A = this chain, B = another copy of it.
Amino acid sequence: MANKPIKIALLGLGTVGTGVYKLLSMRADDMPQIAGAPIEISHILVRNASKPRSGVETALLTDNWNDIISDPEVSIVVELMGGIEPAHTYIKEALQANKNVVTANKDLIAVHGGELLDLAEEHHCDLQFEASVAGAIPIIHPLKQSLAGNRITEIMGIVNGTTNYILTRMTEDGMEFSEALAKATELGYAEADPTADIEGYDAGRKVAIMASIAFHSRVTFDDVFTEGITNIQARDIRYAKEMGKAVKLLGVACNTDEGIEVRVHPMLIPSSHPLATVNNAFNAVFVHGDALDDAMFMGRGAGELPTASAVTGDIIDTARNILMHCTGRIGCTCYKKLPIKKMEDIKSKYYLRLEVENRMGVLAGVTGVLGNNGVSISQVLQKASDTDSAELVVITDTVRERHIRDALTILSNMSMVHKIASVIRVY
C-alpha cells in the first residue's frame, strides 16, 4: 500500500489511552492492509510531558494542546481524557479545525452529543464514539448500520460492570451490598469514589446515548431517571431467586406511543431471560426491533484493551473515510423530536418488601391501601416474622408508577407499617 500514514493525536494516557497506544503498536504492521494506510501517533497530550512513561516514546508527549490543534498533519484527534472539560473544548476546537474525532467519553456525549454531532456535520468530519457505551461490544455502529432498517422499540442493558459484579457477588455468595462493594474496590472494578457506578449515573449516560441512536431522537442524561443499587439487600436477591428471578441493574429505553422512557434502576428479570445469565463484570445489551425481533450483544464493558478495541475500530473506520474522502459519512441520526415520558407515567410491576406489625388485620390494611390506589396485587408472601414484626413481600400487577408512589406515601405514614424496606421494579 502506497498511502502515507494517517497521523493521530491521543488526548490522555490513562487506562484507555495506554490501551489504545498498546493496541496500535501491536497492530502497526497490519494497519496498511486493515485501514488502508499506516496509523501513526504523532502526539500524546498529557498533564506533565516531562514525566517519563514506561513503554511510551517520550518525544510524542506534550502538555500543550496548541501543538496538536495547530498541526495540519493531525487528521484524527482521539479524546480519552473523560469528563466534560477540557474534553468538550478540545473536541469542539478539533472539529472546527476540520479534524476528525474519536472519543470514549460517555459523560460528554450523553450531554453535548447533539451539539458536537452538528458541529461535525458542519465540518464534514467524523465524530465516532463506539467506546462510550459497553466497552468492547459493538453497539453504536450496529444500531446506525446493520439494524438501521428496524423500528427499535426497546433497548435494555447491563451497561455497568461494577454494579453487575457487586450484584453477582450478592447473588452467588450471599454478600450484602457493602461487602460486595469492598470486594469490587479490592479487585479494581470499583473506583475510589464509586458514586457514579452504584447510583446508576454511569449507566444512565450510556442509556441516553443508546436511546438517542436507537429511536432517532436526542435523549440527554438529564432525561434519564436513575436509581442505584445501594438499597438492595441480599434477602431481596434471595427472595427473587425463590421466585425464579434475578436482580440486575438495568438501563432501559423504550419507544412507546406516549413517548420515550429512559431509566436506570434495579429490576427483577426472569432467570430464563438472556440478560439474567450475564454475570460478573460483563456487559450486555438486549435490543428489540420490529424486523430483527430480539437480539443480544455481550462482552467486556470496560478495561484497558477491551475499550481500546472499540476506540481502535473507530480509528480504523475514520481512516477508511479519510482515504475515501467521505468523512462525515454517518452523522447525527436524530431526525425526530419525540417527547420524554415522565417517570410517574411509566407502567411496571413492582416487588415491595414491607416490615409490618405482626397482628391480625395488617395484611388487609396494606392490601386495602394498595387497592384504593389502583394497585392490584399478583402475589403476597409472608417471609420472616418475630413477635413484634413480620415481613411481607408483595408483587403487584402492572400499574403506573404514580399509583405506586401514592400508595407508598400512605403506607409509610401508617403505624402498622414499620418500614418500606424495598421497592424494586419487575420486568
Contact = CB atoms under 8 A, between A and B. Distances in A.
A332 to B, nearest CB: 10
A150 B299 CA distance: 14
A103 interface: no
Contacts of A23: 149, 291
A297 B320 CA distance: 25
B142 A138 contact: yes
Name the prevailing secondary structure of the A interface residues. Answer: mixed
Contact of A298 (B26, B274, B312): B274
Contacts of A19: 291
A277 interface: yes
A145 interface: yes
Contact of A326 (B27, B308, B329): B329
Contacts of A238: none
Interface in A195-249: 216
A266 interface: no
Given A130-B146, A138-B147, A292 B306 contact: yes
Nearest to A307: B291
Nearest to A150: B309
A91 interface: no
A293 interface: yes
A300 B293 contact: yes
Assign chain A's interface to a size class: 35 or more
Contacts of A216: 30, 33-34
A264 interface: no
A324 B290 CA distance: 28
A296 B293 contact: no
A419 interface: no
A384 B313 CA distance: 54
Interface of A: 19, 23-24, 26-27, 30, 33-35, 130, 136-138, 141-142, 145-151, 216, 274, 277, 289-300, 303, 305-306, 308-317, 320-321, 324-326, 329-330, 333, 335
8 contacts: A34-B333, A136-B147, A146-B317, A148-B313, A148-B317, A293-B299, A296-B298, A324-B324
